Amino acid sequence: MFAKMGARVNLQQSIAPAVHYLKKPIDLFRTYDRANLRPDLLAGLTVAVILLPQSIAFTLIAELPPEMGLYAAIVGAIAGALWGSSDQMHTGPANAISLLIASSLSAVIIPGTSQYAIAAGLMAVMVGVFQLGMGLVRLGMLVNFVSHSVIVGFASGAGVLIAIKQLHPLVGLPAAGSGTIGTVTNVVTEIAKTHSPTAVIGLGTMLFIIVIRRINARLPLPLLAMVLASLVVFLFDLDEQNVAVIGQLPATLPPLADLPLFNLELISRLSAGALAVGAIGLVNAAAIARTVAAQTGQRLDSNQEFVGQGMSNILMGLFSGYAGAGSISRTAVNYKAGARTPMASIFSGLFMLIAMFILAPLAAYLPISALSGVLIMTAYDMIDRAEIRRIWRSHPGDAAIMVLTLVGTMFLELEFAVLLGILFSLGLFIWRTSTPRIQAVLPDETFSHFTYRPDKEPCPQMAIIEVYGDLYFGAVNYVEEFITNHADAHPDQRYLLLRLDHVNTCDFSGIHMLESLVRSYRERGGDVFMVGTNYRVQQMMFSSAFDRFLGPDHILDEDEAIGKMFYQQLDPAVCIYECPTRAFRECQNLPKRIALANIPQVDELDTSHILQIEPKKLWSWLHPLPGSNGSSPMPYVIDVREPREFNQGHIVEAQLVPLPQILSSEVKLPADRQIVLVCRSGRRSRRAAAALQHVGCMNVQVLQGGMLAWSAAGLLEAMEF
């Protein structure tokens, strides 16, 4: 019974988001503020003025009957507004999507046939189902993995292709040649066969748009150009002089199409194209919505936007239209015209429906060459030259993706070019996340921030390395290799402070990598400490028991990390006698023993012949068992550290004689007793012993491992504090 209840709860939880997304129209009408009615009506009317010529022109790109564009414009505008997320985005026929549809369909069915139009409707439904499914299962975040460079490259390449494809109808040449190069070659070789009236109308339309745009760019130039061209055809009877026209358009409501929804063979042939159209449509819609939201401050729901695009494409296909997407030009006009809610797009669709009934008869005189001129001007605007320059100057990876998509769009099958661009975009994302920025850092001049300073010598004992990226399975090898190479290049840096402020997540591969680093540093006699771990990274460390392996005291507070490392881990002798760097704030007040400047460093001395005594053996020597007769006198233990270190803990029998003092002629050492030199780790002791032997004092040996080894041997109770 409890299992059934649990299954019922899980089912309800999975259904709830879908219901929330699908009931968006109810929420829209229930919460609509009537104060927005007037601005939404005006914006809808303004968009409808450009929607009419665009829908016909873009249908020409898709090589479909003009009425399919009109139906798609009406249904897409209304459905996209009802189920979408953005208040201003306008959905319907789009130029680049139309070109992609033509490329995909013409590879399967001959354009101009009834089967071609039916396949276009079926593809729209397929695209819509794909997009709707992506939204209902909440995969809207996937759109973030497609680079903006893909959209810029595809739009620019599509603009070039659209312009080239319109050259034949622009000047009245019969369509011939295949591909970009073949089409251009055919136009050049057949230019003498240009139909003069057709060319005059087409080129005149372009000239009209260019001139009037300079006078007043806010006018509905495509509509004005098409109306003027229709009047010219009507007045001079050019349709009787072989000037191709659109022909009579049906003045009816969008009819329900009879689509082969269960023709699996046709569906499989259209699937690659539908996937490309759906993917580009989603990325394009998300980019448009984000662009407008950046100006309005609206919070978007990418999953809801996916649902809106999916519902609009399904309904466009079912009601005799073809697939569409968000339109950047109409969205911009909608926003600038004062649209406040999605009702503005709904009104544009309704105005479009009214206009279709009124203006449908006039399409009988609308010349195709005028539409070609409008499309060429639109194609020119699709090439965002400023954005291309910005991407080209920014990152080589983004520039490569843009160029690859642009070239692929012009010379390859469009759906393949789109998917290739998306794959390279994902590849660039994987490459960037798997090779995160990682660098050794040091405090700045004010000791307030850590920064990359390759011109400054690092601390000789501790490396501070900052990771900018997640520690996941794809990146851990790169991070580990960098840190290992850095450790090999700086063998004296036995301690590592990892700054993880910019690490958002860490998976189990990241934990394994960190464990490997800790083992490596501890085998070298050092250790690893961390700072800046966020809640999620800490939870992963706790759940995997890494915190116990590392040690809870090894995860430090940001403000106290350097101080604790300096006073508790670093060897002060190196800081005082050997380090000229003074990398940290804590180093600034250390005394500098200039008197030792001429004494060789440990690394420069041959210390292989210096005797060493183990901590437990020294303990036994200093504390003989009762009744035993020692065969040798008690050793003379000298602690060569600084007074601060000595006061923190020392061997009871030791005498404090700092290294500079023991090397001076004023210190008298007993010649009849064995001298044992003690320091923190053995480094200063070996240096002192080598220097003493150099002047003839041979009865010296050092405590192996220094006070660190003494403590590790469990002899802490023998220390004074």
State the pLDDT at residue 601: 53
State the pLDDT at residue 685: 87
Interatomic CA distance for residues 660 and 4, integer angstroms: 80
* Sequence-ordered alpha helix ranges (H) in 297-367: 302-318, 328-336, 343-359
On whether the CB atoms of residues 494 and 521 are closer than 8 A, the answer is yes
Please state which CATH class domain 437-585 belongs to.
alpha beta
Interatomic CA distance for residues 716 and 713, integer angstroms: 8
Residue 2 pLDDT greater than 50, yes or no:
no
Interatomic CA distance for residues 232 and 212, integer angstroms: 18
On whether the CB atoms of residues 416 and 163 are closer than 8 A, the answer is no
β-pairing, 527-531 vs 555-556, is parallel
Percent of the chain residues topping a pLDDT of 70: 92
- The closest of 79, 76, 68 to 102, measured between CA atoms, is 68
Catalytic pick from 459, 506, 579, 679? 679
Lowest mean pLDDT among 220-229, 318-327, 386-395, 618-627: 618-627
- The closest of 561, 622, 80 to 314, measured between CA atoms, is 80
| Residue 153 banded pLDDT, cuts 50, 70, 90 | confident
- The closest of 499, 515, 500 to 464, measured between CA atoms, is 499
| Residue 592 banded pLDDT, cuts 50, 70, 90 | low
- The closest of 498, 391, 386 to 440, measured between CA atoms, is 498
pLDDT per position as a tens digit, 436-485:
999 999 988 888 888 888 888 888 889 999 999 999 999 999 999 999 99
Domain boundaries, the chain: 36-168+252-357+385-428, 437-585, 603-625+632-720
Give the 3-state secondary structure of residue 650. strand
Interatomic CA distance for residues 140 and 145, integer angstroms: 10
Interior/surface letters 298-315, b for 16+ CB within 10 angstroms, e for the rest: eebbbbbbbbbbbbbbbb
Distance of CA 318 to the CA centre of its chain: 37
State the pLDDT at residue 9: 41
pLDDT per position as a tens digit, 35-86:
999 999 999 998 898 888 889 889 988 999 999 999 999 999 999 999 999 9
Longest dimension (CA), the chain: 134
| Residue 17 banded pLDDT, cuts 50, 70, 90 | low
pLDDT per position as a tens digit, 629-659:
555 688 999 998 888 778 878 888 898 988 8
Distance of CA 501 to the CA centre of its chain: 18
Judge residue 212's burial from the number of C-beta atoms within 10 Å of its C-beta, 0-12 exposed, 13-18 middle, 19 or more buried: middle
Interatomic CA distance for residues 458 and 226, integer angstroms: 72
Interatomic CA distance for residues 372 and 374, integer angstroms: 5
Contacts of 313 (CB under 8 A, 6+ apart): 76, 124, 125, 127, 128, 131, 278, 281, 323, 324
Domain 603-625+632-720 superfamily per CATH: Rhodanese-like domain (3.40.250.10)
| Residue 262 banded pLDDT, cuts 50, 70, 90 | very high
| Residue 424 banded pLDDT, cuts 50, 70, 90 | confident
Distance of CA 256 to the CA centre of its chain: 42
On whether the CB atoms of residues 500 and 537 are closer than 8 A, the answer is yes
Contacts of 589 (CB under 8 A, 6+ apart): none
State the pLDDT at residue 530: 94
Interatomic CA distance for residues 684 and 370, integer angstroms: 91
679 is catalytic: yes
Contacts of 111 (CB under 8 A, 6+ apart): 63, 102, 105
Judge residue 534's burial from the number of C-beta atoms within 10 Å of its C-beta, 0-12 exposed, 13-18 middle, 19 or more buried: middle
Both tokens assigned to 245: 């026209």
